[in-house]
Amino acid sequence: MAVELEKILRPVDHPAPPFPPKLMTLASGEELVIRQIDREEIPDILPYVAPLLHVERDYYDIVSARVYAELLGYARHRMQDEYVLVAQIDGELAAIVNGRSMNAEVGVSLHTLALRRGLRIGAHAFAAKMEYHFDFLKQKEVLIVAESPIGFRRWMIEYKLEKRFGTPHELGGVPSWALTKELFDKARDSLVVGRRPVPEALLKKAQAAILPPSNPSKPPVDLLAATRALKDPTGTSLMLQRWTQEGKV
Ligand SMILES: CC(C)(COP(=O)(O)OP(=O)(O)OC[C@H]1O[C@@H](n2cnc3c(N)ncnc32)[C@H](O)[C@@H]1OP(=O)(O)O)[C@@H](O)C(=O)NCCC(=O)NCCS
């Protein structure tokens, strides 16, 4: 019975080509490997997403909560046609990006989460997932939304996205924006960097283990001060303080 029910609950993914791993040199001189991960590696990255649930700054809280759910949705077969890419520096997790196919022609950008800041790693990882939609899945456009002002600047402004406001996005039903193949082609020279193939030693290092991020965004130490400073519209800082006192986190 349980097996029969699982067959109904579990969506069947359409066949999709893999994302060929990619390498790029960052402004710091470090090498960034971007590669696709499958379901077995999802448990390795969940512990690095969970702490960000309490970082209100730059909307890491809502983005990481949604990413966590989407990663579980992928690992536990509750999302259809999803893919996940990770960006790694010397094994260290530097960014996570994911998306899915709505149909053969339209892709859906889900999230971009940078775990190392200040090097445009999130921007590079986003470009890699757009490359996957256009060059490998051969889609015509990708529906995108931003949850944060930095995201808006990175995607809507830098790529000059088109409005698709009549189409609610899967993320909360908010109005969609679209990256078309034509817009992506225009951005290739300036925003899409990197090379293939990734040298075997670097790829093996990345595949061997996903190491913890060395300097992820952190919740403020003084939660009350943060509450005052940020006006804390969701009250999360105080809630977190209370949960800590109660020994729940
Ligand atoms: C949006 C995001 C993916 C962009 O990643 P990125 O391209 O690597 O860029 P960074 O986040 O490092 O830097 C963005 C800006 O933040 C600021 N910044 C840089 N380093 C920072 C740091 N260590 N701490 C705080 N802010 C920093 C800079 O002002 C930078 O401005 P710039 O546009 O002039 O470079 C990333 O900010 C992120 O994960 N944000 C939280 C989740 C989110 O909003 N995701 C997108 C949903 S639409």
What's the confidence (pLDDT) of residue 44? 98
CA 55, CA 51: separation in Å to the nearest integer? Answer: 8
Q: Say how many Å lie between the CA of residue 42 and the centre of ligand 1.
A: 23
The CATH code of domain 12-218 reads: 3.40.630.30
Q: How many residues does the chain have?
A: 249
By most ligand atoms within 8 Å of CB, the mutation choice from 117, 121, 191, 230 for ligand 1 is 117
Report pLDDT digits (tens) over 209-221: 999 999 999 887 6
What's the confidence (pLDDT) of residue 244? 87
Ligand 1 pocket by Cβ (under 6 Å): 58-60, 63, 111-114, 117-118, 120-123, 146-148, 150-151, 154
Report pLDDT digits (tens) over 87-102: 999 999 999 999 999 9
Q: Say how many Å lie between the CA of residue 89 and the centre of ligand 1.
A: 17
User: Tokens standing for 174?
Assistant: 């908010």
Structural element, H or E, at residue 208: helix 200-208
Q: Is the pLDDT of residue 85 over 80?
A: yes
* Domain positions in the chain: 12-218, 220-249
Q: Is the pLDDT of residue 134 over 90?
A: yes
**Which residue's alpha carbon is nearest to atom 2 within ligand 1?**
122
Q: What is the DSSP string of 190-224?
A: HH---BSSPPHHHHHHHHH--BPPSS-----SSHH
Q: Say how many Å lie between the CA of residue 215 and the centre of ligand 1.
A: 13
User: Would you give the DSSP letter of residue 195?
Assistant: B
Report pLDDT digits (tens) over 41-72: 999 999 999 999 989 899 999 999 999 999 99
Q: What is the DSSP string of 55-94?
A: --GGGHHHHHHHHHHHHHHHHTT-SSSEEEEEEEETTEEE
User: Tokens standing for 158?
Assistant: 């830098």
Q: Say how many Å lie between the CA of residue 218 and the centre of ligand 1.
A: 13
Per-residue pLDDT, averaged over 233-248, amounts to 78
Nearest atom within ligand 1 for CA of residue 64: 42
pTM for this structure?
Answer: 0.91
**Which residue's alpha carbon is nearest to atom 11 within ligand 1?**
117
Q: How confident is the model at residue 232 (pLDDT cuts 50, 70, 90)?
A: low
What's the confidence (pLDDT) of residue 221? 67
